[in-house]
């Protein structure tokens, strides 16, 4: 009985965290990404740990498909090439693993999605700085109060919880919403508001 109560409590906590998500900012992120793709640009994504998994998950949904068969959308998770990550980490330091990739393949008009539950990941912050130097648009997915990333991104979606699992659960919900809306636009090539 004690375990059942704990499970119900965790589910309720997750639901309450998700109910407080900023819908208007998620909508803004969808519009920014659709404009990026309309203009023939690409999306880069980075994060550490669970956020690295979210980066790869989102890239797969956009490059391949979410639910519908359609043309692929250019999206690169900067978390996936072990040779690049380990060589940069070894030669320069772990904090540069995303920055150097953004400098190499990021272009003006591209979008960087920077994911950090704490908002304090140094390598993600360096990637944000590199993206802004390249005149890329930066969307930040953070938790709690946004950490050091707060105020550095063009659009910031902050999940107001200090509980990392609840933040991660909300981030993947946001990612799935964005992917579904972008995919519907991609198939219909219409305004998402139609």
Work out how many domains the chain is built from and give that number. 1
- DSSP 3-state of 38: helix
Q: In sequence order, what are the residues at sequence separation of 6 or more whose Cβ sits closer than 8 angstroms to the Cβ of residue 52?
A: 46, 77, 79
In a domain, 6, yes or no: no
Helix, strand, coil % over all residues of the chain, rounded to 5? 55, 15, 30
pLDDT interval class at 190 (50, 70, 90): low
Query: What pLDDT, on a 0 to 100 scale, did the predictor assign at position 2?
Result: 87
Mean pLDDT of 90-103: 98
Token match 């140094």: residue? Answer: 122
Asked if the model's pLDDT at residue 194 lies above 50, the reply is: no
Ramachandran angles phi, psi of 118, nearest 5°: -85, -25
pLDDT interval class at 191 (50, 70, 90): very low
In a domain, 147, yes or no: yes
In a domain, 109, yes or no: yes
Question: How many angstroms separate the CA atoms of 177 and 6, rounded?
Answer: 28
In a domain, 146, yes or no: yes
134: domain CATH number is: 3.40.50.10490
In a domain, 126, yes or no: yes
Query: What pLDDT, on a 0 to 100 scale, did the predictor assign at position 22?
Result: 97
Token pair in block for residue 41: 């640009």
Asked if the model's pLDDT at residue 193 lies above 70, the reply is: no
Query: What pLDDT, on a 0 to 100 scale, did the predictor assign at position 1?
Result: 73
- Please list, residue by residue across 20-42, b when 16 or more beta carbons sit within 10 angstroms of its beta carbon and e when fewer do: ebeeeebeebbbbbbebbeeebb
Burial of 91 (0-12, 13-18, 19+ CB in 10 A): exposed
Asked if the model's pLDDT at residue 24 lies above 70, the reply is: yes
In a domain, 194, yes or no: no
In a domain, 4, yes or no: no
Question: How many angstroms separate the CA atoms of 5 and 49, rounded?
Answer: 29
Q: Which domain holds residue 138?
A: 26-188
Interstrand relation of 137-143 and 111-116 (parallel, antiparallel or unpaired)? parallel
Question: How many angstroms separate the CA atoms of 52 and 50, rounded?
Answer: 5
Q: Would you say 99 and 132 are in contact if contact means Cβ atoms under 8 Å apart?
A: no
* pLDDT one-digit tens code per residue, 122-174: 999 999 999 999 999 999 999 999 999 999 999 999 999 999 999 999 999 99
């Amino acid at each position: 009985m004690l375990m059942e109560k704990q499970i119900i409590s965790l589910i309720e906590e997750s639901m309450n965290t998700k109910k407080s998500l900023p819908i208007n900012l998620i909508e803004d992120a969808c519009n920014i990404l659709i404009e990026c793709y309309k203009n023939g640009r690409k999306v880069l994504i980075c994060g550490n740990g669970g956020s690295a998994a979210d980066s790869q998950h989102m890239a797969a949904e956009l490059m391949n498909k979410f639910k519908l068969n359609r043309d692929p959308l250019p999206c690169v998770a900067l978390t996936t090439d072990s040779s690049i990550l380990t060589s940069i980490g070894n030669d320069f330091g772990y904090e540069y693993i995303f920055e150097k990739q953004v400098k190499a393949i990021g272009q003006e008009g591209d979008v960087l999605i920077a994911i950090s539950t704490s908002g304090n990941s140094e390598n993600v912050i360096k990637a944000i700085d590199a993206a802004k130097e390249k005149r890329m648009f930066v969307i930040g997915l953070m938790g709690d109060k946004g950490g050091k990333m707060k105020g550095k991104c063009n659009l910031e979606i902050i999940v107001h919880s200090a509980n990392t699992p609840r933040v991660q659960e909300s981030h993947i919900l946001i990612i799935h919403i964005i992917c579904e809306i972008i995919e519907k636009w991609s198939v219909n090539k219409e305004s998402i508001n139609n």
